[in-house]
Amino acid sequence: MAKISASVYTSHVPAIGAAIDLGKTAEPYWAPLFKGYEPAKAWMKAHRPDVIFLVYNDHATAFSLDMIPTFAIGCAAEFKPADEGWGPRPVPVVKGHPELASHIAHSVIQDDFDLTIVNRMDVDHGLTVPLNLMCGSPAAWPCPVIPFAVNVVQYPVPSGRRCYQLGKAIRKAVESYDEPLNVHVWGTGGMSHQLQGPRAGLINKEFDNAFLDQLIADPEALSRKPHIDYVREAGSEGIELVMWLIARGAMADTPPRVVHRFYHVPASNTAVGNLILENV
């Protein structure tokens, strides 16, 4: 049977992608950030999964205001890097895993989560920047990826509670898949940031670090944090953090092993967090 061995949490700031694409990673502004991801990259090399289930959000790229799915699962064989207005990022095409993706869709919908199934979709920096941060810049990504897009652009976005319970349904779905695949679930976005209005530039280190502590130790309680706390304390775009609860919910109920934890301010407008948890 398939099994979830680990979860990865990381911000997906577009400027990080631009720094990689323009060869700026060694510049003083960016060097501390990329150095902070070195242990994560080394771990990733040593713990290559068969499939990554990657939770992220689309940023007005694949989804305009014509359609706004709350949860969308990518079931295609491949997903092209999107042109977000600057031309597509020079990164590999993302290979999907249609068999596992459609299995998960089937199981999770039967568990009362009404997913939107997507068979054609370009993927933006929300998905490709985490892959770069964890895998570097290879000629091909190390394994198939199932993109799972969450609406965190138009309010109301799904609650932390809903995300956490969805994670549990995803775990059940993966564990009922016959092939013995090693699966990672990644939660991306955040941490504190606000990109709009006179309050733009908001960073809340205390909130972010308390979030990381609780995500590790007591996700059940964290899942009850209301939207307004994220928006008020972590900024209007800090609400992306609810996506981390999907990955956390997909982990076993027993306490995980903390492999790596890193926090850095700033990347452009945003606080960056990275966490790796292994099922014991």
Among 93, 265, 278, 279, binds other proteins (CB under 8 A): 265
For the CA atoms of 185, 50, 17, 211, what is the dihedral angle to 10 degrees? 20
Does 112 help bind other proteins (rule: CB under 8 A)? no
Give strand pairing partners of 83. 88
Binding mask 206-225 for other proteins (x = CB under 8 A): xx------------------
Distance (Å, whole) CA 111 – CA 92: 34
Smallest separation, CB 105 to other proteins (Å): 26
Does 65 help bind other proteins (rule: CB under 8 A)? yes
136 CB burial (10 A radius; 0-12, 13-18, 19+): middle
Does 34 help bind other proteins (rule: CB under 8 A)? no
Among 39, 102, 266, 278, binds other proteins (CB under 8 A): 266
189 CB burial (10 A radius; 0-12, 13-18, 19+): buried
Phi, psi for 219 (deg, rounded to 5)? -60, -30
* Geometric angle at alpha carbon 75, from 72 and 77, rounded to 5°: 140
239 DSSP 8-state letter: G
Catalytic, 97? Answer no
Catalytic, 106? Answer no
Residue 161 near residue 169 (C-beta atoms within 8 A): no
Does 24 help bind other proteins (rule: CB under 8 A)? no
Distance (Å, whole) CA 236 – CA 245: 18
Distance (Å, whole) CA 232 – CA 213: 19
Binding mask 182-201 for other proteins (x = CB under 8 A): ----------x-xxxxxxxx
Does 88 help bind other proteins (rule: CB under 8 A)? no
Among 2, 4, 8, 15, binds other proteins (CB under 8 A): 15
Does 180 help bind other proteins (rule: CB under 8 A)? no
Does 32 help bind other proteins (rule: CB under 8 A)? no
Among 168, 268, 278, 279, binds other proteins (CB under 8 A): 268
User: What positions carry a catalytic annotation?
Assistant: 125, 193
Under the rule (CB under 8 A), what is the footprint of other proteins? 14-15, 18, 29, 59-61, 64-66, 83-86, 153-156, 192, 194-207, 227-228, 231-233, 236-237, 265-266, 268-269, 271
